[in-house]
Amino acid sequence: LFSDPAGEEWEEEVDGFNYAVDLVKHIRNEFDDYFDICVAGYPKGHPEAESYEADLRHLKEKVFAGADFIITQLFFRPETFLKFMKDCQAIGITCPIIPGIFPIQGYHSLRQLVKLSKLEVPQEIKDVIEPIKDNDAAIRNYGVELAVSMCRELLDSGMVHGLHFYTLNREVATTEVLKRLGIWKEDPR
């Protein structure tokens, strides 16, 4: 398991799992198929990877070591994910790849997430958000519209068979996205 480093730099640990592939191999060797294993995919490449292509090779190693599926980090354009899917397929990755969707819910949470993930927000999104950055309701409405549009395009592509939402413990926007997509089911109780 890997999280953000406690300090500025992550340091390798003797006899530890220094790479995700090491942990995947260990789980498969120790527990066979008792667990389903998911690994992270980076549609624009991991920010610390040597290159996009090198990152895809590392992802393939994790899958071939025993990962069952991939959930991607967030992205802002559906074409980014679809290209990533095609690139994965081109190098022999055949497991399910689930897009990580982040409905923008607030200006400051977006800035924080972008800082942590080292992603670049496309200019067309910045142009919409900057003038409304102090209006949380307007930002959330825009975020829902953007997420619905992205999800529709992804689902309509025929390449995507599920969605993963980054809610940051704020489910309202995600619930609205699912309702607008027609895939929200009310609890009958």
pLDDT of residue 6: 54
pLDDT of residue 9: 67
Please, what are the averages of pLDDT over each run of 10 residues along the chain (189 residues)?
A: 54 78 96 97 96 98 98 97 98 98 93 88 96 96 98 97 93 96 89
Residue ranges of domains in the chain:
20-181
pLDDT of residue 1: 45
Beta bridge partners of 98: 71
Secondary structure E strands in 75-163: 97-101
pLDDT of residue 101: 98
Range list of H helices, 14-129 = 20-31, 52-64, 78-90, 107-117, 123-129
- Answer yes or no: CATH 3.30.450.20 is held by domain 20-181: no
pLDDT of residue 187: 83
